[in-house]
């Protein structure tokens, strides 16, 4: 009897536990909210995935787009004084032995002299950290240079010239306008058949610019038959080299004519040799190079059939725009154009190439729909817009400005990346003349919208647009309301349509259309409309936000409610992709609201979007 009672109690307990578990599971299912997928997410959910892992070293990407080293190294080379002795631990006899060893395996005449020793010691004392960073970049660019030079019998050591010229930055532009890794002037670039237009500047293309450099080197060697003089002519032009030869009494050795060359060229070849020495003997001097995660051989190109922006590609392939910029530096406006009869190519990591090629039709369909919803033409906007005088409201306010105190180890590139802005803007907002920043200085950082841009809110409600046609606009139901927002920009000194289009993520053609411009000429102080967007008003109190989000077909205004919701992480999400779903929200915001120290998030994790 006792056994039966105990057995009955056990069965009853098991039954109760089972029922409790079912109720708990049911409650959890009921509490878990349904997350509505955006059009972008629904497209990406159908993508065929490649099994290769995609990993990008963010530090390496920052270095590729940072101009810190270029500015510092250029200043050093221009102010080199070979007669100033530098106190640095490097015995002269040991240096002579190393230079002799370098000379034996090089077609260059590398000879010891006191001036070269001073330059090498100066670099060792002041530029160790810079060379550590440069060596990381060299892992991507040097294989490109070596392959091209080997084909045309150019000494492979010429690859070090790109370090002296541009600090391995394809976006480097000198004060005289020389551009790219090899610092071609506009005329020289055209002479060597490099394409330069509003969208593309092939002086920044590593492959094509290196081929042009190789052609130039061969041509100059046939003239001077001396590689040191070829380097000198690359810097100052062949005319200045021949003048220096005449003024030196017909001597043709670089060190014999050096004092008769332009001042900058006098430090040019020594800087080249000093760079070569530091790359060859970096271990002996304790220079530990960073290693690039992505190498050149881990990338490939795909032909682009229709015009598409870097933002569209980045959102579709779940990769940062900065990675697209460093792999495709020749596209000036972050747009891959589609020219009639010409093909343009996009370089991507190989695993992203696989995703792109496997889903091309879906990608182009998405880009087409997204592009149609970006803006409305100026002539249509004029017909549907209210005739009442617009009320201008300055975008910039106290809440749009943040302050950051510079800490040890900071640089402008890292700070700009943290706040999703660029280095040029940081320098402009804080009146910085160079990339050097003092420890403890407080920097002003503004919101994504440029401070000189203004949003014009047109208060009169208009019929909603279902199609981009006048008939659709005229027949829409009056109960559905829309708001037209105009973002304006005042032309400043040095501006042109290309730079303004790049700043606001639009195109020159759209700017001309929105402002009824017949040519590319713009007047200083002129106010330009840079974007005119129709957004649906969900509630009378909703504040219209001008946005070019790709997360939906229609440009809906974001209400306070959507910024206060919880977001459940889905497979494939990253903090970057999540931040883009909420205009005005940054990665730093999401980390702060959720107490996240790194960017490691997992599917199912709940994130607060506080707004």
Structure-token pair, residue 54: 């995609």
Tens digit of each residue's pLDDT (9 = 90 or more) over 175-195: 888 999 999 999 999 999 999
Check: CB of residue 368 under 8 Å from CB of residue 503. Answer: no
Residues 151 and 204 in one domain: yes
Residues 418 and 434 in one domain: yes
Tens digit of each residue's pLDDT (9 = 90 or more) over 542-576: 333 333 433 433 333 333 334 556 787 877 777 77
Structure-token pair, residue 105: 């395996």
Closest C-alpha to 331, from 306, 355, 308, 297: 308
Under the banding of pLDDT at 50, 70 and 90, the label for residue 33 is very low
The neighbour count for residue 486, using CB atoms within 10 Å, is 20
Q: What is the distance between the alpha carbons of residues 485 and 371, in angstroms, rounded to a whole number? A: 18
Residue 37 belongs to a domain: no
Return the pLDDT at 31: 42
Higher-pLDDT residue of 399, 184? 184
CA torsion angle 592 598 602 605 (round to 10):
-20
Residue 513 belongs to a domain: no
Higher-pLDDT residue of 529, 93? 93
Residues 229 and 82 in one domain: yes
302 strand-pairing partners: 346
Q: Which among 32-46, 214-228, 472-486 has the top mean pLDDT?
A: 214-228
The yes-or-no verdict on residue 244 having pLDDT over 90 is yes
Return the pLDDT at 391: 39
R_g (Cα) of the chain, nearest Å: 30
| Residue 594 CB contacts under 8 Å (≥ 6 apart), including other chains | 607, 608
Residues 254 and 150 in one domain: yes
Q: What is the distance between the alpha carbons of residues 420 and 441, in angstroms, rounded to a whole number? A: 20
Residues 441 and 569 in one domain: no
Helix axes 114-126, 268-280, angle to 10 degrees: 60
Higher-pLDDT residue of 546, 251? 251
Residues 324 and 189 in one domain: no
Average pLDDT over residues 346-363: 89
Residue 117 belongs to a domain: yes
Residues 230 and 144 in one domain: yes
Residue 378 belongs to a domain: no
Check: CB of residue 511 under 8 Å from CB of residue 500. Answer: yes
Average pLDDT over residues 233-238: 90
Helix axes 238-247, 206-224, angle to 10 degrees: 30
Return the pLDDT at 424: 76
Higher-pLDDT residue of 395, 576? 576
The CATH number of whichever domain residue 589 belongs to comes to: 3.10.350.10
Edge-first strand listing for the sheet containing 453-463: 391-394, 453-463, 481-490, 527-536
Q: What is the distance between the alpha carbons of residues 594 and 608, in angstroms, rounded to a whole number? A: 6
Residues 208 and 349 in one domain: no
Check: CB of residue 208 under 8 Å from CB of residue 189. Answer: no
What residue numbers bound the domain in which 601 lies? 561-611
CA of 113: how far to CAs of 97, 109, 218, 245, 330, in Å? 12, 12, 28, 20, 40
Return the pLDDT at 555: 36
Structure-token pair, residue 219: 């041509």
Residues 351 and 428 in one domain: no
Closest C-alpha to 571, from 550, 592, 532, 602: 602
Check: CB of residue 132 under 8 Å from CB of residue 289. Answer: yes
Tens digit of each residue's pLDDT (9 = 90 or more) over 424-445: 788 888 888 777 787 778 888 8
pTM comes to 0.55
Average pLDDT over residues 110-116: 88
CA 400 to chain centre: 23
Q: What is the mean pLDDT of the chain?
A: 74
Tens digit of each residue's pLDDT (9 = 90 or more) over 36-62: 456 566 665 666 554 443 444 444 455
Domain count, the chain: 5
Residue with tokens 């370090």: 163
CA of 84: how far to CAs of 99, 164, 261, in Å? 20, 20, 19
Residues 23 and 67 in one domain: no
Q: Backbone phi, then psi, for 567, in 5-degree steps?
A: -120, 130
Percentages of the chain per state (helix, strand, coil), in multiples of 5: 50, 10, 40
Under the banding of pLDDT at 50, 70 and 90, the label for residue 139 is confident
The neighbour count for residue 312, using CB atoms within 10 Å, is 19
Residue 499 belongs to a domain: no
Average pLDDT over residues 358-362: 90
The yes-or-no verdict on residue 330 having pLDDT over 90 is yes
DSSP states along 504-523:
TT--HHHHHHHHT-SSS---
Higher-pLDDT residue of 96, 442? 96
Structure-token pair, residue 28: 């959890």
Structure-token pair, residue 18: 């089972």
Q: Backbone phi, then psi, for 267, in 5-degree steps?
A: -95, 0
Check: CB of residue 576 under 8 Å from CB of residue 601. Answer: no
Structure-token pair, residue 487: 């973002």
Under the banding of pLDDT at 50, 70 and 90, the label for residue 272 is very high
Higher-pLDDT residue of 277, 579? 277
The yes-or-no verdict on residue 23 having pLDDT over 80 is no
Return the pLDDT at 532: 63
Q: Which among 328-332, 434-438, 532-536 has the top mean pLDDT?
A: 328-332
Residues 258 and 313 in one domain: no
Residue 587 belongs to a domain: yes
Residues 96 and 86 in one domain: yes
Residue 22 belongs to a domain: yes
Residue 533 belongs to a domain: no
Q: What is the distance between the alpha carbons of residues 386 and 458, in angstroms, rounded to a whole number? A: 7
467 strand-pairing partners: none
The string over 205-223, giving b where at least 16 C-beta atoms fall within 10 Å of a residue's C-beta and e elsewhere, is bbbbbbbbbbbbbeebbee
Return the pLDDT at 77: 65
Under the banding of pLDDT at 50, 70 and 90, the label for residue 99 is very high
């Amino acid at each position: 009897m006792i056994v039966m009672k105990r057995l009955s109690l056990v069965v009853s307990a098991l039954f109760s536990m089972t029922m409790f578990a079912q109720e708990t599971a049911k409650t959890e299912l009921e509490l878990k909210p349904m997350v509505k997928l955006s059009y972008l997410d629904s497209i990406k959910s159908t993508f065929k995935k490649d099994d290769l892992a995609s990993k990008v070293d963010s530090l390496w990407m920052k270095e590729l787009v940072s101009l810190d080293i270029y500015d510092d190294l250029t200043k050093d080379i221009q102010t080199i004084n070979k007669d100033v002795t530098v106190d640095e631990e490097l015995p002269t006899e040991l240096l002579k032995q190393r230079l002799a060893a370098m000379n034996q395996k090089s077609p260059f005449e590398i000879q010891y002299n006191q001036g070269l020793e001073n330059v090498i010691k100066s670099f060792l004392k002041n530029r160790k950290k810079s060379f550590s960073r440069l060596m990381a970049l060299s892992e991507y660019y040097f294989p490109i240079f070596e392959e091209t030079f080997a084909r045309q019998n150019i000494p492979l050591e010429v690859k070090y010239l790109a370090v002296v010229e541009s600090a391995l930055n394809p976006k480097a532009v000198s004060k005289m306008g020389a551009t790219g890794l090899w610092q071609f002037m506009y005329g020289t670039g055209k002479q060597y058949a490099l394409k330069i237009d509003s969208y593309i500047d092939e002086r920044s293309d590593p492959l094509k610019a290196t081929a042009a450099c190789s052609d130039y080197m061969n041509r100059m060697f046939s003239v001077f038959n001396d590689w040191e003089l070829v380097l000198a002519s690359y810097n100052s032009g062949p005319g200045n080299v021949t003048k220096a030869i005449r003024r030196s009494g017909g001597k043709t050795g670089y060190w014999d004519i050096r004092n008769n060359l332009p001042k900058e060229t006098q430090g040019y070849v020594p800087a080249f040799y000093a760079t070569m020495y530091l790359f060859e003997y970096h271990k002996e001097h304790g220079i530990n190079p960073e290693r690039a995660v992505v190498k050149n051989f881990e990338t490939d190109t795909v032909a682009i059939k229709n015009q598409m922006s870097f933002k569209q590609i980045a959102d579709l392939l779940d990769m940062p725009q900065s990675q697209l910029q460093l792999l495709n530096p020749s596209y000036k406006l972050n747009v891959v154009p589609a020219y009639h009869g010409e093909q343009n190519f996009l370089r991507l990591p190989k695993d992203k190439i696989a995703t792109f090629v496997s889903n091309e039709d879906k990608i182009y369909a998405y880009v087409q729909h997204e592009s149609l919803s970006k803006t409305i033409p100026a002539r249509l906007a004029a017909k549907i817009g209210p005739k009442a005088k617009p009320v201008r409201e300055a975008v910039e306010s106290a809440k749009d400005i943040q302050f950051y105190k510079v800490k040890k180890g900071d640089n402008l590139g890292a700070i700009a990346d943290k706040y999703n802005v660029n280095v040029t803007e940081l320098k402009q907002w804080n009146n910085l003349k160079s990339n050097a920043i003092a420890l403890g200085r407080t920097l002003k950082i503004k919101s994504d919208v440029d401070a000189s841009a203004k949003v014009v809110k047109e208060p009169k409600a208009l019929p909603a647009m279902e199609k981009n046609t006048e008939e659709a606009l005229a027949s829409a139901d009056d109960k559905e309301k829309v708001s037209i927002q105009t973002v304006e920009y005042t032309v400043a000194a040095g501006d042109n349509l290309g730079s303004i289009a790049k700043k606001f993520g639009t195109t020159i053609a759209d700017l001309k259309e929105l402002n009824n411009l017949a040519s590319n000429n713009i007047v200083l102080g002129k106010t330009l409309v840079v974007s005119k967007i129709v957004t649906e008003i969900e509630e009378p109190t909703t504040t219209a936000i001008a946005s070019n989000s790709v997360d939906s077909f229609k440009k809906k205004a974001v209400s306070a409610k959507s910024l206060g919701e919880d977001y459940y992480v889905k497979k494939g999400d990253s903090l970057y992709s999540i931040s883009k779903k909420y205009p005005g929200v940054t990665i730093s915001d999401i980390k702060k609201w959720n107490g996240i120290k790194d960017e490691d998030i997992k599917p199912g994790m709940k994130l607060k979007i506080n707004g």
